[in-house]
Structure 1
């Protein structure tokens, strides 16, 4: 049996409760066991999203979803950790949310039906599409100057980017590998690429 020290979050808030409209009375009463940073303890979901919206980074992430890739949840969770502006699902609307660990509640998720629709969305939002895949002719991510308005585009596990997605990108970047495997997990690749953007543009985390 786990001890109370192993529990995530905090228990009921002692009385009297703070007078703050961002706080949820039910969470104050019952405790807040959500996987959120301490600054958001007891906050309403809408209040958390509104606060995140004041600080989101200008990059976005897109991932193709033709075969219900289980990595999409991981990509969403990582995008939340690095405070991406939005995540765009390309292809099938339905995706497996288990890996997101409910972080999709705090992250703006947009759906487009095709790579062509992604190009239109990117143009309207002011993004520059940069695909990440180990393809012939790809430039090393380690030396590539990611644009501040990058839309990082990822393909599916196994098959990688579709030909239409490759054509949609202004550049294709590869991630250096040194072992025997032909490719790395799509969720891991997304985390590496997002962190490359963070290292170039983001302020140190508070």
Structure 2
């Protein structure tokens, strides 16, 4: 990836027969550019090229795991254009460095964890609470302002809302103010959703 603005574009490389199966859109590779090796991502495979001149060979595949998805690529393009930056700089922030252990374990984690249906009773104490859970489960727009009742365990209700969304096949991002709240919410969420499908991030991680 080259951060120089005038080199923020696609380059074509030849792929050997031995590498062909692993070289798929989204995977990390290493290529030789002006005499030095640089990391890159495969954007597409083509049988022809618009390049005039001799093509170089792709050096090696760093990982066969496709991490640059079409959705991430679109966001990177928008982010770079909006902030007048280069796509490589945005990519470094959008896609974490490779972690071989995480790649090996990724295939063992179910994409959609199996969880029990959410009991809407507690949310039923709030106006349109049950409809709120249904909207989360169905993927419908659900804008809400919620004030927990006295004595309410707020983390349990948030965990139920998260579980409702996951039941419908959706992801959830929950943001809380401090480590104590992170710990409380994490405990409530992992009581309903497999901990292999839950990640907690905090400032203490660096």
**Interval containing the TM-score (normalised by the shorter chain):** under 0.3
Larger relative strand fraction: 1
Which structure is higher in RCO with an 8 Å CA cutoff and minimum separation 6?
Answer: 1
